[in-house]
Amino acid sequence: MSLLSEARPVLPPQPTTLDVVRETLLGKPGTIFAVLVIVIFVLVAILAPVLAPYDPLAQSMIKINRLPSSENWLGTDQFGRDVLSRIIYGSRNSLLFGLISPFCAAIVGTTLGVLAGYFGGVIDRVISRVIDLLLAFPELLLAILIAAVLGGGFWNVIFVITIAFVPGFARLARAQTMAVKREPYVEAAISVGVRTPVIIMRHIIPNIMAPIVVLAMLWVASAIRLEASLSFLGIGTPPPNPSWGNIIRDGLNNIFGSPWPIIGAGAAITLVVLAFNLVGDAIRDALDPSTSSSE
């Protein structure tokens, strides 16, 4: 017996989900670049008061529409405000909206989807009809309609983007819950009398979190674009507070005087959205091997 046990091969430990995600993110130059871009912009947003060379709200009649120089790296706008400082401070609003809104939408949408998928019946029909009603409107149009009623402001914009994203999370969570609740371990828990809240928290939610996390990461980029669109239309972040969307809006009104607000804020939105999309795709491939294998 001892010889047989010694000859038995020792299997290496299975990698955890965190190990798989880390290997996926750091295994390709594109995802490494995306992670670095996200880290840089997050640090810029956190250290905005230190990095910004000027007050983003300070106006100066003698500095209107200056070209880029050593004093103003991206020039100034039609009010003499430093464009670089406004973009740096604008990263705070844009990233906050991009991170908080999908997180809130994931909580609300997952809760609704789990309730609909687990209980079924009347609860499922009522929640599904509400979700179908919200899905009848494109995300941007739904956000514009709600924002036009509520107006601008930080929490109003958070609420608008959250409502726009809830249907997607709810439908995904409902479908995943309906599949998981048929698993033998869930049926066994029900048969031995485990309470419904315990089953949902212990067996349902942990087993549907992977696609929810992937969708949340992918929609961070969508939230940033949606907030920029609302601010560009004048129903997002209220001026003069800087946001990438209203920086582009101000630049459009003065495009022949100084195009640098559009160029700078547009480049920032492009880089951040591309980075979050690359990271979201990588996490999806790591958590859903069937997707990557089919490609």
Burial of 193 (0-12, 13-18, 19+ CB in 10 A): exposed
The count of structural domains within the chain is 1
Do the domain assignments include residue 89?
A: yes
CB atoms within 10 A of CB 159: 17
Domain hosting 122: range is 21-55+74-294
Confidence of residue 155 (pLDDT cuts 50, 70, 90): confident
pTM for this predicted structure: 0.82
Could you report the per-residue pLDDT of 228-260, keeping only the tens digit for each? Answer: 888 888 888 888 888 899 899 988 888 888 899
Q: What CATH number does residue 166 fall under?
A: 1.10.3720.10
- pLDDT of 293 reads 42
Do the domain assignments include residue 12?
A: no
**Under 8 Å between Cβ of 186 and 203:** yes
Look up tokens 């726009």; give the residue: 164
- pLDDT of 185 reads 85
Do the domain assignments include residue 5?
A: no
Confidence of residue 8 (pLDDT cuts 50, 70, 90): low
CA distance 171 to 232: 30
Could you report the per-residue pLDDT of 128-151, keeping only the tens digit for each? Answer: 999 998 888 888 888 888 888 887
Do the domain assignments include residue 235?
A: yes
Q: Which residue has the higher pLDDT, 220 or 28?
A: 220
Assess whether pLDDT exceeds 70 at residue 18.
no
Residue 39's nearest CA partner among 94, 105, 95, 83 is 95
Do the domain assignments include residue 180?
A: yes
Q: What is the mean pLDDT of residues 13-36?
A: 73
Do the domain assignments include residue 26?
A: yes
Mean pLDDT taken over the chain: 84
Do the domain assignments include residue 134?
A: yes
CA distance 254 to 66: 12
- pLDDT of 295 reads 43
Q: What is the mean pLDDT of residues 120-133?
A: 91
Could you report the per-residue pLDDT of 83-95, keeping only the tens digit for each? Answer: 999 999 999 888 8
Q: Which residue has the higher pLDDT, 21 or 259?
A: 259
CA distance 93 to 175: 33
Do the domain assignments include residue 143?
A: yes
